[in-house]
Copies of this chain bind each other. A is one copy, B any other.
Amino acid sequence: MVNSFPDKINALCVFGSVLQLKGHLVPNSQFGRNLPFSDWSTLWVRRYRYMRPVRSFSFSSLLRCVWGSKKKHRDVPIKKTAMGDSANEQVLAPLRASVKEQGDLVRKLKSEGASEIDVKKAVAELKLRKKALDDRELTLSPQVSFDRAKMEDVLKRRFFFDQSFAIYGGITGQFDYGPMGCALKTNLLNHWRSFFVIEENMSEVECSILTPEPVLKASGHVERFADLMVKDVKTGECFRLDHIIKASLEKLAGSKGTAQDVKEKIADILVKLDGMTKEEMSDVLTDFKIKSPLTGNDLTEPIDFNLMFSTQIGPTGLVKGFLRPETAQGIFVNFKRLLEFNQGRLPFAAAQIGNAFRNEISPRSGLLRVREFTLAEIEHFCDPSDKSHPNFDAVAESELMLYSACDQMDGKPAKNVKIGDAVKTGLVNNETLGYYMARIHAYLLNVGIDKERLRFRQHMNQEMAHYACDCWDAEALTSYGWVECVGCADRSAYDLTQHTKATGVRLSAEKKLPEPKTVTVTEAQVNKGIVGKVFKKDAKAVSEALVNASSDVLNTMEDALSTTGSYDLTVDGEVRRITRDMASLKVYEKTMHVEEFTPSVVEPAFGIGRILYALLEHTFAVRESDEQRTYFKIPASVAPLKCAVFPLSSNAEFQPFIRQLASALKVKNVSHKVDDSGGSIGRRYARTDEIAVPYGVTIDFDTVKDSTVTLRERDSMSQVRIPLNEVPAVVQGLSLGETSWPEVQGKYPKFEQQESTKEK
């Protein structure tokens, strides 16, 4: 599959990737920035993009898209939803047509081999039209009444999370989770562990955060995990280069005094900005004499700013290290141990929950773009020639909202598709990828993400690294727009191959051949004594290069040694003269029973902070009766606290019941809070609603008589009367999802009002 990409595709690929295909490396910081609000996705984008030019891929659906053949897609049964149908389509139709027109123009230009700059312009225009369509679509989609300021007030006031070190003035992009945020996050992670690690028998690991430089050199992060920036020469204030050019030129273009030809030049630059090199952008800075917008001071030359936090490991100051920018590399460098732990068999999946760090130039949007964040990643290792999944049938009928790369280019809306059909038609590359997409979908719905505000958006190929053969982001619609919460990518064999190259340790697996096969082995026999004498400290590298040389190289060398007596071998970039006495050739037949191969990796990666934030937005609600009363409809299974206990008053008679209930809840491991603060019951209900407590138990004067209490459900505000000693098991069952509230309502008498509201 990989490496079978036809050459002619070079001329046909869409968007910026055509440049990559031709061998130009597009500065990664410039890419994907116009995608609406998808800040964090740029993490992924970057990860897939700081790599060398695209040489090959095998993404069949995109190929079809590129080639203009979309027949199979038409066969996918589409179930329309609010997003796709409705009268709104009339409004959107011209916008869709405009995107499609431009998409077709891009295809045409490419197929005609148009000039690079013409293609660039057309692509930029396509993006603008796509954005206009997306924005309009958002305004038309079923209105979700949401007041962000109101929610943020609750989150801050009840300390779900807040800025770190605020008493010291705070640091942007860093947040502390308070008791409610921390409990919610813990519950999200525990559910993740149970849903993925335990249910799928994954191997969970926990690797170091401090990572030595060579590891991140091999992964490509040291060289290319960077954004371009400029500094105010006097104050040192930093600006993202593309941001400052865009802002300055837009301001200039909008100014009355600017001549028409300058305005045209600016328009041209803004269109091209996204694909400009560092040098081109530097020229723009000079041409337009762009200064700091804050001080008017001069700016430095553009600087590549690596987004990793660096430090020194150990006291010598000589071992450079970084805080890991992703958790994945820890799994890759442990591949051999994990394969062994799984008794040498594939497929297996490893998982890791942990913090990662990136030194954002300008963090923003609350929890969505931060400098420290928790990832939960899965690396599923499988045979590249067999990406089927044993449990795929169990999820095949799951319907997901898919926003394919083709539909994005054609101005079409996202569609509800059964994942089984999506894999069958090739829209989703393989079963394993499809399986994880369905599981991600199920997990997100379980924890409370709104189905109507969740979609899977396929990466278009300019977003993908050459090694990723398909990539879908689970995006949640928030007040910041569509936000990537989970990335699900087929990373192929890239990472294992890179670490193998860097260390010489073969990170590969073996599989039994259907029948043994005989192969001819060509090996170099090295005379280590002579090699050692001649090359001294480099002898080891030379020996290794000889031992690891391919049979082609060895045969060429043998010819040279036999004829001229010497051969020039390039080792680590230096030419070494090998002579006859240093090496001879051994050629023999060998019967192979197993075949060695580098596994492919399918990687679902969850941004926990983003899921948590989207979940808060999706569950935030205001009581119809009183818009000052807000609550979070967070499912009981992940709600921070499961239960609140309210004594009706501070009457001493209630104390034994509170103690009894509290201790029984502890035995059942049901987290709870006693609110004996003395406000009215209504006010206390409202206060626990704000922190999403799903169940409330009220102890009143009837409790003293008959040991029954009121049990109230948060979302419906309905209540039942229930014996005190049955509460812990019932609330536990509700919290674990083993019982539903209607079941409880069916079993216990309805409670209409507080019988004894006053102290007697």
Contacts and interface: CB of A to CB of B under 8 A. Distances in A.
A182 B162 contact: no
B666 A338 contact: no
Nearest to A642: B198
Interface string A208-219: 111110110000
Nearest to A640: B204
Interface in A234-287: 236-238
A671 B341 contact: no
A244 to B, nearest CB: 13
A112 interface: no
Main secondary structure of the interface of A (DSSP, over half): mixed
A16 B215 CA distance: 45
A313 B165 contact: no
A445 interface: no
A88 interface: no
Nearest to A158: B341
Interface in A129-153: none
Contacts of A194: 669
A167 B357 contact: no
Contacts of A359: 312-315
B158 A179 contact: no
A203 interface: yes
Q: Which of A214, A359, A372 has the most CB of B within 10 A?
A: A359
A182 B159 contact: no
Contacts of A671: 198
B341 A179 contact: yes
A505 interface: yes
A388 interface: no
A186 B178 contact: no
A204 B176 contact: no
Contacts of A669: 194, 198
A499 interface: yes
Contact of A176 (B310, B330, B361, B503): B330
Contacts of A666: 198-199
Interface residues of A, number: 87
A352 to B, nearest CB: 8
Contact of A236 (B318, B323, B341): B318
A447 to B, nearest CB: 16
Interface string A153-181: 00000110010111110011011111101
A361 B677 CA distance: 52
A673 interface: yes
A126 to B, nearest CB: 32
A505 B210 contact: no
A175 B231 contact: no
Q: Which of A208, A311, A336, A357 has the most CB of B within 10 A?
A: A208
A744 interface: no
Contacts of A238: 314-316
B168 A337 contact: no
Interface string A306-326: 000111111111110101000
A204 B183 contact: yes
A562 interface: no
A646 to B, nearest CB: 14
A212 B179 contact: no
A310 B175 CA distance: 19
A176 B214 contact: no
A201 interface: yes
5 contacts: A167-B507, A177-B205, A182-B204, A201-B672, A312-B359
Interface of A: 158-159, 162, 164-168, 171-172, 174-179, 181-183, 185-186, 190, 193-194, 198-199, 201, 203-212, 214-215, 229, 231, 236-238, 305, 309-319, 321, 323, 330, 333-334, 336-338, 340-341, 343, 350, 355, 357, 359-361, 371-372, 499, 502-503, 505, 507, 666, 669, 671-674, 677
